[in-house]
Structure 1
Amino acid sequence: MAPAAVRDNSVVFAPRIQELLAREEKVFRIDATTVGVSDSRLVAEIVAARPVLSTERSVFKPAAGAEIHHDSATRTIRALGQDVMAGIRTPPPPARGLSGAWPYAATSYLRRWLFSSDPLPVSLLSKRGVTRSDALSRIADRTVAGWPGLGGGEGRSTALAGQIHGASGAQERMQAIALYRRATATLCDGVAALAGNALWLMGPGRPPEDVRTDLTAALWETLRLLPPAWMLFRMSGDAYTALHPEIRPEDRIALLPLLMHRHPDYWPDPLEFRPERWAGVADPENAPAFMPYGFDGARCWAKHLIVPLAERLLTAAFDHRLVIRSPQQQAHVPLRSLLSVRFDAQTGA
């Protein structure tokens, strides 16, 4: 399952990821307390063994000292969906924002595209320089929480900012602030990673016309070969011990779509970038051994927004003649929670 050259580009994974890719077993011990699983049947059994815990979620893990209630999470996703659909319908920002180091340039570009209409200091919550620092995030949270008359829901503010404005109490307000920060970061980081991975897999310069014609298929194939959500954890528990002899009650379970999506037992020519494999597939998420957005009970709540927004971002990039400006035909994928290829790009406009 080692990576092969795709078109004219190739990928160099961080050593720890490369070690996982080199494993032939579908169930194996990663370290003293973690078991890796890429077996499709066992993954399904693990997912069905118990409901996902709140601490195993990302956006909707506890905030402000309390659980995020289902209705609050639902309102957040609906608001995020409104903002993404509104953003897709508006002209993109100046193309020069796409030039630079990817996926960081794309992340900043998306945040400016979707959330720049929010008033200060709310807009600070979506700034990459703020979200990368725990200290700055806490300062921004406190500033927003104490800022009078944020104006959410008025003028051109986003629906997500309106959740902060409409909060009924201090705790609800702090949770709305946390959800704004998490939702904007998760969406923009994930879409930027997906679009960047797709650009690299398509090859240097302008992608072939057949790929440009069906960007949706190219993005689904990217989600197979380089899924940003490449590893998801389930915490320890007795629910899993009867499923496989390698799993102990104290073990964490690392579910590995990156390995499962590349395994020849499930996919013909698994290391080749072949968007045409999705031609005529009405519902890609139902493809066997394909879990691009997580697993049942813990799937990304914004999954319906990811591919359309990534397609819109790539269209804007191609319309402005974005090309990869990398000195090498190898791109590095560091060991991060979000799998993303690193390269430099420049627009022609």
Structure 2
Amino acid sequence: MEKDTIGVAGAEAMDAVLRARPATDVERPTFKPVSGKPVERRESSALMQALGHDVRTALKTPLEDHVDLSGEWPLVGHNYLRDLVFGPDPYRLKVLVDRSLELTPKLTWTVVATGAALPGRPQPDDPLSSVAGLTANATGYQQRRRALFLYRRVAGPICFTIAATVTAVLWLGSPFDDDVPNAHLIHEALRMLPPSWNILRRASPEFSEIDSRIGLDDDVLLLPLLSHRDPRLWEAPDEFRPQRWRDLDPETHPGYLPFGHSNERCWGRRMVMPLAERLLDLLRRDGYSVDPRQTQATVPLAGLMEPTGVRVGRHSR
């Protein structure tokens, strides 16, 4: 793909590469080093436990009787999830989940630095999400800045990923047939538009043993975007067919990697599915679908693979 990067899209080769060794710190997007300082496993575990608690708390709340989900997606879905999971948090924290911060890392660091410098930071006994509670224990500017950046690293992806996934479900599948389960819709949307459409592994001697075309200095870019549409693995791979998941196991189907490999699944997969299903419950209950007049949407490859600018409202079939 580039002078020092080999692309891999075959299911068996991808499986072999991902089994060859665990991901390193720099290959773990959420917990890669911050300003050159590693995120220790104890720290990442505490963050994930806190996030899991916040997600479980959110899922226990009854479905809202009235919630306006009309407008431009994935922004509407993102904001709903931010308020559902991190609603109690003060603005200086919730602003870190804002989608506009994706424009440039410098903007993210500017907002983080500003929040760390402001007086009157949250206290441990304030009404906060569990993730935000960890930031309240930080002392000194540098610790607060790191804590706020990790809040962004943890809180942002859960909203980004679910909003992207549900937007893909809306774009590809709405209006929905009543007999199709949410889980099948989600798995099929993740197949066609996987949020993480590539997985990078830095050069490692184990990879050359898998295939001689991989040099000792070659990075490897695994491409679920291609394996998810491989006609050797899928019937009618370019068609949105959620019913295919009645007979397929998303945990074991070859080449299906929306949450990474079976021996190292994405940290958020057990949170993504139930939150996405909750959001779909609301959309389906209240009859939301994509504006039938909209026939095109942009799917950028710069970050998450998601349809953008999707107009959603209540439309008759």
1:62 and 1:289 map into 2 onto residues whose CA distance is 29
The yes-or-no answer on 1:341 pairing with 2:310 is no
CA-to-aligned-CA distance 1:207-245 (integer Å, 9 cap, x gap): 11122xx11121112222221111111112333122213
Q: CA deviation at 1:94?
A: 6.1
Q: Is residue 89 of structure 2 the alignment partner of residue 118 of structure 1?
A: yes
Q: 2:279 aligns with which of 313, 325, 334?
A: 313
SS of corresponding position for 1:110: helix
Q: Which position in structure 2 is the counterpart of 1:23?
A: none
Of the three residues 58, 67, 78, the one matched with 1:95 is: 67
> 1:119, 1:150 within 8 Å by CA — same for their partners in 2?
no
C-alpha contact (below 8 Å) 1:285/1:292 kept by paired residues: no
**Is the aligned partner of 1:137 residue 2:108?**
yes
Measured in 2, the distance between the counterparts of 1:131 and 1:333 equals: 15
Cα-to-partner distance string for 1:148-181 (whole Å, 9 max, x where unaligned): 5533543431001011112366655433222210
Question: Where does residue 13 of structure 1 map in the other structure?
Answer: none
Give 1:208's match in structure 2, choosing from 177, 183, 186.
Answer: 177
Provide the aligned C-alpha RMSD in A: 2.5
Unaligned runs of 5+ in 2: none
Aligned to 1:36, the other structure's residue is in SS state strand
* Alpha-carbon distance between aligned partners in 2 of 1:134 and 1:107, rounded to the nearest angstrom: 19
Distance between the aligned counterparts of 2:302 and 2:263, measured in 1?
23
- Counterpart in 2 of 1:165? 136
1:79 matched residue in structure 2: 50
SS in 1 for 2:154: helix
Shift of residue 119, structure 1, vs aligned partner: 1.7
How much has 1:146 moved relative to structure 2?
3.4
Count of aligned pairs between the two proteins: 314
Partner residue in 1 for 2:259: 293
Percent identical residues: 33
Offset, 1:111: 1.4
1:69 aligned residue: 40
Do 2:198 and 2:222's aligned partners in 1 also have CA atoms closer than 8 Å?
yes
**Distance in structure 2 (CA, Å) of the matches to 1:217 and 1:231:** 22
Cross-structure match for 1:268: 235
Q: Is the Cα–Cα contact under 8 Å of residues 168 and 307 in structure 2 kept in the other structure?
A: yes
Contact 1:322/1:345 (8 A) holds in 2: no
TM-score (norm 2): 0.89
C-alpha contact 1:332 1:341 (8 A) present in aligned 2: yes
Is the 1:225–1:271 Cα contact (8 Å) retained in structure 2?
A: yes
Alpha-carbon shift at residue 275 of structure 1 (Å): 2.0
Q: Distance in 2 between matches of 1:136 and 1:310?
A: 28
Do the aligned partners of 1:36 and 1:253 also contact (CA within 8 Å) in 2?
yes
Q: Distance in 2 between matches of 1:179 and 1:92?
A: 30
Q: What is the CA–CA distance in structure 2 between the aligned matches of 1:56 and 1:31, rounded to whole Å?
A: 19
- 2:224 aligned with 1:257, yes or no? yes
Give the TM-score of the pair, scaled to structure 1.
0.81
* Gap change, CA 1:94 and 1:233, over 3 Å in 2: farther
Q: Assess, with a 3 A threshold, how the Cα gap between structure 1 residues 280 and 164 changes in structure 2: closer, same or farther.
A: same
Amino acid at match of 2:261: F
1:60-105 residue CA offsets vs partner (Å, 9 max, x unmatched)? 0101431000011111111111112222233559633x32222222
- How many angstroms apart in 2 are the aligned matches of 1:229 and 1:157? 30
What is the distance in 1 between the residues matched to 2:123 and 2:132?
5
Distance in 1 (CA, whole Å) between partners of 2:214 and 2:101 is 39
Q: Deviations over 1:106-160 (max 9, x none)?
A: 2222212222310232222222234544333223222332345533543431001
- 1:228 matched to 2:200: no
Counterpart contact for 1:236–1:250, Cα < 8 Å: yes
- Tell me, in whole angstroms, the C-alpha distance in 2 between the residues paired with 1:134 and 1:258: 25
